[in-house]
């Protein structure tokens, strides 16, 4: 009993069915808050505050059943110094039996575990709270991680924040680990608690400070979270309001995970597309370069951009070609490409404008090229055409003259531009040779009537040049308002044409005159013979007949010339070539001329050379040359005819007189048909055909023909024949 008295373990003993407190050591008295006076009293009386609590019933149960009752952590409310205090106990009600097996007392041992429970509850509560915090933190971390991941790819600006968060998370995780570790320690400490309850106080303090740290961290995280969500909201707003169309496509199916208004407007869809595959929303994209590039970006994880390929979009059943500048950026989560960020700006209008501008430029350059070519062609035509072209302005000033105009007028372009079409330095003449009044000039007629004129012939006499004839076509030029701005004149040198016409006219008058003379003479002779041939003496009749024959010879000569000319024209001049010597030729000619002239006709040179030619025709050439010398150089005392072998193959025959000679500029025209040097003088008769026919005969023989002459020093007409 003494041992029990001294035991630190609270112990009491109850006897009898009333449970009289037979023994109570100091430890249990301390628990009860009583003193030794309670000993000897019944349990219910000594501890009246126990009424309503299970202890009396439990004692009763043990008394009756004789079986031990053990309780753990049972609460008991005791009146400690006037105050009801609940404490927790592990206790045993142990029946003590005598030899007969009857119960005689109950031994009550107890242990106050109140502090232990409180400490454990506090630990459990803390654990629970920690678990909640951990859960919250885990949730926050989860949210943060996903936010971080999205934000990471979208905006590097938040990298720093994320890193901070990461660091914080690390601290929290470390703390969690530490807490876990400490919890484990606590738990094991709990087991050891009974032995070392005082350590708990320290641990509690430690925990409290850890808790404070955790709370602070939590606050920081909350703040960061707020910041992040603010950033997230503003970032989302930014993306939503961005003028650039943006969408985030995730996974192999390119599911539209995020899309802004601009992109929705661009694809003409609403927010219902979120969560759907891009190719389900826009099936027309399949196979298009933009789609290929999207897939490539996702697979290769490298950014791509394009601005040149058109994208064909289905707009209410109509396939429209649109142009975009777009960027595909791989979306990375946990270091893996999980999607693609598509950013696009529509540039259809600009591309269309550029294309339109390009096509206009091409069209313009084609037009310019066409214009340039047609200008070149026109220039080519103007430069090579056989007609002169001159353009005048409204004042009549020449502003353009093509090369032929310069050639015809014999003036350089700069000189040409100095003159007007009715320049007084240049005499414009009518066809009859009289001065052409300014108002009668075809350009002037065209300008005043504002109507074209055609083939208007005028003579132009340039200073120190022969008169020339030009045929002018002229047309007025008007501006867009129909005002006369000038005129264009085309003209050609028709001097030759005019000469031929003139020659023909002259020829007709000359031929008529030439023919009329012998015909009149012949008629007169024949009439005289007819009327009075009986009365005429025979010598007079013979004279008349002789005159008639001369007139007829002249007529037949003229007719032969005309016939030869027409034969030459028709290429029908026939040669009858035979060999003969030059002396034979000279003999035939000589006999004819000795009777008609007093001039001395001298034959000299290589007269024994033989030629193969048409004797008759070559004779006619000789007669032409000699009769011309007699006719045009009557004052020449001698006419010298020379034959000269000039090579082994050629002999030259020339007829030289000492007559007036021929002006230099006329020499080149002498062998032309109908050409005569003195058309208007009428001093000499002739048809202007002799030299023309001669030229043709010599050419037919393969020889050459020409003239050398100097005014006042006579002329030498010559021809050559092959030997
Ligand atoms: P036609 O004598 O019938 O007029 P031609 O053809 O024989 O024709 O001569 C052409 C022109 O050549 C003549 O009109 C004349 O002016 C010139 N002519 C020819 N021979 C001479 C000459 N010996 N001296 C000067 N002029 C000549």
Q: Is it the case that residue 422 has pLDDT exceeding 80?
A: no
* Of 695 and 594, more confident: 695
- Nearest residue (CA) to ligand 1, atom 2: 686
**195 vs 190, 191, 206, 307, 594, CA distance in Å?**
9, 9, 20, 80, 186
Q: Is it the case that residue 7 has pLDDT exceeding 70?
A: no
Q: Is it the case that residue 681 has pLDDT exceeding 60?
A: no
Looking at residue 397, the DSSP 8-state letter turns out to be B
What distance in Å separates the CA atoms of residue 691 and residue 706, rounded to the nearest whole number? Answer: 10
Residue-wise pLDDT for 360-405, tens only, equals 999 999 999 999 999 999 888 888 888 999 999 998 888 888 888 8
What's the 551 CA to ligand 1 centre distance in angstroms? 22
What's the 672 CA to ligand 1 centre distance in angstroms? 11
What confidence tier does 521 reach under pLDDT thresholds 50, 70, 90?
confident
Q: Is it the case that residue 157 has pLDDT exceeding 60?
A: no
What's the 662 CA to ligand 1 centre distance in angstroms? 9
What distance in Å separates the CA atoms of residue 68 and residue 603, rounded to the nearest whole number? Answer: 194
Report, as an integer, the average pLDDT of 643-651.
93
pLDDT of residue 145: 67
Closest atom, ligand 1, to C-alpha of 717? 23
CB 147 within 8 A of CB 126: no
Closest atom, ligand 1, to C-alpha of 689? 6
pLDDT of residue 20: 93
CATH assignment of 2-112, given 3.30.450.20, 3.90.550.10, 3.40.50.300, 3.30.1490.100?
A: 3.30.450.20
Token reading at 387: 């007609």
What's the 500 CA to ligand 1 centre distance in angstroms? 17
pLDDT of residue 187: 67
pLDDT of residue 198: 62
What's the 676 CA to ligand 1 centre distance in angstroms? 6
Domain spans of the chain? 2-112, 140-384, 388-491, 499-569, 578-722
Q: Which of 691, 697, 698, 715 to mutate to test the pocket of ligand 1 (most atoms within 8 A of CB)?
A: 691
Token reading at 712: 């006042």
What distance in Å separates the CA atoms of residue 628 and residue 633, rounded to the nearest whole number? Answer: 8
What confidence tier does 194 reach under pLDDT thresholds 50, 70, 90?
low
CB 33 within 8 A of CB 79: yes
Q: State whether residue 566 is helix, strand or coil.
A: helix
Find, among 401, 384, 404, the residue nearest to 393 by Cα.
401
Report, as an integer, the average pLDDT of 259-276.
91
What distance in Å separates the CA atoms of residue 459 and residue 472, rounded to the nearest whole number? Answer: 11
What distance in Å separates the CA atoms of residue 291 and residue 310, rounded to the nearest whole number? Answer: 12
Strands 467-478 and 715-722: unpaired
What's the 633 CA to ligand 1 centre distance in angstroms? 10
Contacts of 27 (CB under 8 A, 6+ apart): 7, 8, 9, 10, 11
Closest atom, ligand 1, to C-alpha of 691? 6
Q: Which of 515, 641, 664, 670 to mutate to test the pocket of ligand 1 (most atoms within 8 A of CB)?
A: 670
What distance in Å separates the CA atoms of residue 318 and residue 268, rounded to the nearest whole number? Answer: 13
* Of 540 and 179, more confident: 540
Report, as an integer, the average pLDDT of 659-684.
77
- pTM: predicted TM-score of the whole model, two decimal places: 0.40
Q: State whether residue 36 is helix, strand or coil.
A: helix
CATH code for the domain defined by 499-569: 1.10.287.130
Angle, alpha carbons 64-66-69 (nearest 5°): 100
Find, among 220, 233, 81, the residue nearest to 151 by Cα.
233
Domain 388-491 in CATH 1.10.645.10? The answer is no
What's the 658 CA to ligand 1 centre distance in angstroms? 14
pLDDT of residue 234: 60
**2-112 shares its CATH topology with 578-722:** no
Residue-wise pLDDT for 474-496, tens only, equals 999 999 999 999 999 999 989 88
Closest atom, ligand 1, to C-alpha of 675? 10
Residue-wise pLDDT for 67-126, tens only, equals 999 998 899 988 888 888 888 888 999 998 888 888 989 989 888 888 888 888 888 888
What confidence tier does 679 reach under pLDDT thresholds 50, 70, 90?
very low
- Nearest residue (CA) to ligand 1, atom 27: 632
What distance in Å separates the CA atoms of residue 354 and residue 356, rounded to the nearest whole number? Answer: 5
**67 vs 73, 74, 264, CA distance in Å?**
20, 19, 83
What's the 643 CA to ligand 1 centre distance in angstroms? 21
* Of 193 and 387, more confident: 387
Strands 600-605 and 638-645: parallel
Report, as an integer, the average pLDDT of 4-13.
76
What distance in Å separates the CA atoms of residue 293 and residue 249, rounded to the nearest whole number? Answer: 13
Q: Is it the case that residue 442 has pLDDT exceeding 60?
A: yes
Strands 453-461 and 467-478: antiparallel
What confidence tier does 682 reach under pLDDT thresholds 50, 70, 90?
very low
Q: Which of 628, 682, 683 to mutate to test the pocket of ligand 1 (most atoms within 8 A of CB)?
A: 628
Token reading at 285: 């994209």
Q: Which of 511, 632, 665 to mutate to test the pocket of ligand 1 (most atoms within 8 A of CB)?
A: 632
- Fold adopted by 140-384: Beta-Lactamase (3.30.450)
Query: How many Cβ atoms are within 10 Å of 649's Cβ, its own excluded?
Result: 10
List all residues whose CB is within 6 A of at least one atom of ligand 1. 624, 628-629, 632-633, 657, 659, 662, 670, 675-678, 686-692, 715
What's the 584 CA to ligand 1 centre distance in angstroms? 26
Q: Which of 37-51, 144-158, 233-247, 427-441 has the lowest mean pLDDT?
A: 144-158
CATH assignment of 578-722, given 3.20.20.70, 3.30.565.10, 3.40.50.800, 3.40.190.10?
A: 3.30.565.10
């Amino acid at each position: 009993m003494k041992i029990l008295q001294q035991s630190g373990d609270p112990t009491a003993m109850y006897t009898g069915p009333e449970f009289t407190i037979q023994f109570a050591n100091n430890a249990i008295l301390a628990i009860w808050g009583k003193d030794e006076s309670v000993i000897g009293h019944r349990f219910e009386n000594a501890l009246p505050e126990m009424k309503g609590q299970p202890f009396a019933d439990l004692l009763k149960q043990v008394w009756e059943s004789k079986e031990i009752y053990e309780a753990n952590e049972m609460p008991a409310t005791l009146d400690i110094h006037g105050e009801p205090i609940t404490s927790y106990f592990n206790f045993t009600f142990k029946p003590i039996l005598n030899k007969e097996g009857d119960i005689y007392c109950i031994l009550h041992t107890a242990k106050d575990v109140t502090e232990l429970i409180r400490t454990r509850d506090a630990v459990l509560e803390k654990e629970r709270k920690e678990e909640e915090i951990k859960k919250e933190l885990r949730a926050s971390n989860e949210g943060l991680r996903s936010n971080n991941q999205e934000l990471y790819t979208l905006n590097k600006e938040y990298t720093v924040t994320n890193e901070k968060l990461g660091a914080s998370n690390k601290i929290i995780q470390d703390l969690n680990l530490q807490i876990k570790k400490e919890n484990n320690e606590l738990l094991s400490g709990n087991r050891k608690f009974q032995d070392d309850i005082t350590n708990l106080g320290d641990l509690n303090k430690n925990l409290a400070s850890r808790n404070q740290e955790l709370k602070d961290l939590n606050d920081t995280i909350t703040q960061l979270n707020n910041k992040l969500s603010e950033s997230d909201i503003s970032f989302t707003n930014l993306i939503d309001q961005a003028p650039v169309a943006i969408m985030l496509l995730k996974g192999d199916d390119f599911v539209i995970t995020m899309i802004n208004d601009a992109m929705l407007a661009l694809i003409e869809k609403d927010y219902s597309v979120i969560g759907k595959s891009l190719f389900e929303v826009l099936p027309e994209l399949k196979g298009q370069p933009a789609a290929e590039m999207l897939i490539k970006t996702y697979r290769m994880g490298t950014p791509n951009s394009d601005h040149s390929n058109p994208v064909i979009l289905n707009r209410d059943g109509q396939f429209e070609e649109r142009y975009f500048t777009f960027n595909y950026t791989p979306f990375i989560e946990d270091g893996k490409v999980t999607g693609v960020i598509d950013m696009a700006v529509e540039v259809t209008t600009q591309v269309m404008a550029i294309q339109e501008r390009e096509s206009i430029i091409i069209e313009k350059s084609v037009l310019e090229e066409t214009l340039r070519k047609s200008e070149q062609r026109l220039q080519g035509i103007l430069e090579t055409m056989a007609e002169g072209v001159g353009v005048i302005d409204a004042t009549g000033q020449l502003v353009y003259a093509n090369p032929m105009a310069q050639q015809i007028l014999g003036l350089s372009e700069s000189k040409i531009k100095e003159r007007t079409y009715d320049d007084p330095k240049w005499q414009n003449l009518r066809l009859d040779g009289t001065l052409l009044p300014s108002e009668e000039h075809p350009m002037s007629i065209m300008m005043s009537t504002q109507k074209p004129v055609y083939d208007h012939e005028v003579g132009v006499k340039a200073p120190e040049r022969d008169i020339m004839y030009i045929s002018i076509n002229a047309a007025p030029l008007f501006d867009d308002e129909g005002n006369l701005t000038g005129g264009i004149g085309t003209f050609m040198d028709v001097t030759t044409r005019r000469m031929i016409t003139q020659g023909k006219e002259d020829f007709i008058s000359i031929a008529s005159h030439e023919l009329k003379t012998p015909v009149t003479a012949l008629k007169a002779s024949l009439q005289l013979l007819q009327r009075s041939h009986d009365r005429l003496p025979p010598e007079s009749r013979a004279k008349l007949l002789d005159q008639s024959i001369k007139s007829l010879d002249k007529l037949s000569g003229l007719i032969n010339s005309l016939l030869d000319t027409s034969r030459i024209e028709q290429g029908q001049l026939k040669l009858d070539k035979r060999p003969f010597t030059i002396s034979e030729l000279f003999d035939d000619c000589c006999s004819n001329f000795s009777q008609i002239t007093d001039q001395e006709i001298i034959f000299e040179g290589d007269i024994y050379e033989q030629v193969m030619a048409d004797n008759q025709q070559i004779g006619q050439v000789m007669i032409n040359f000699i009769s011309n010398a007699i006719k045009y150089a009557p004052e020449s005392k001698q006419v010298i005819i020379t034959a000269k072998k000039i090579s082994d193959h050629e002999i030259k025959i020339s007829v030289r007189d000492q007559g007036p000679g021929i002006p230099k500029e006329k020499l080149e025209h002498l062998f032309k048909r109908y050409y005569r040097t003195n058309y208007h003088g009428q001093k000499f008769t002739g048809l202007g055909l002799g030299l023309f026919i001669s030229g043709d005969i010599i050419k037919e023989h393969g020889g050459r023909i020409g003239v050398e002459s100097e005014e006042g020093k006579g002329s030498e007409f010559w021809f050559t024949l092959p030997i």
